[in-house]
Amino acid sequence: MSDTETLNQLRGVISRLARELNATATHEGLTPTQASVLGLIAFRGPLGLTELAQLEGLNPTMLSRVIGKLTELELIQRDPNPDDLRAIRVAATDAGRQLHERIKLLRTEAIAECLGKIPEQSAQTIIDALPALDELAQALRATHS
């Protein structure tokens, strides 16, 4: 396999894993993008819309739609930004934090179940690769920071 083939295979595997994990959010009534935005807000705390758009890689129009839906579902709330009264910040509500925790639990359970279905050596290889995969994720994040 050439380097290009290996890189394409890695990209494909990562994409499929992300797609399958994102599907757990749809069982909770959210799109993958809505779940991702909610997760970021729940994890990081109140965020301004500009920062949130940059972190999620969304254009302002798409982010506005997602924020509108999450607000309508009472999963986040909009508050004035104390640093800039013309802007708003969004924060997770109790219901939003609870849903985020439920989605994380569902994803963790799905991974555990699937690791139990593959050969033990393959599962251990995946676990052993976690530090290297984390380095890759950090390097990718740094390319668009």
pLDDT at 2: 62
Q: How far separated are the first and last CA of the chain, in Å rounded?
A: 32
Check if the beta carbon of residue 34 is closer than 8 Å to that of residue 70. yes
Q: pTM of this prediction?
A: 0.83
Name the residue among 47, 46, 27, 45 with its Cα closest to residue 102: 27
pLDDT digits (tens, 9 = 90+) for 86-133: 889 999 999 999 999 999 999 999 999 999 999 999 999 999 999 999
Domains present along the chain, CATH in parentheses: 3-143 (1.10.10.10)
| Dist. CA 84–CA 12, nearest whole Å | 42
Check if the beta carbon of residue 92 is closer than 8 Å to that of residue 38. yes
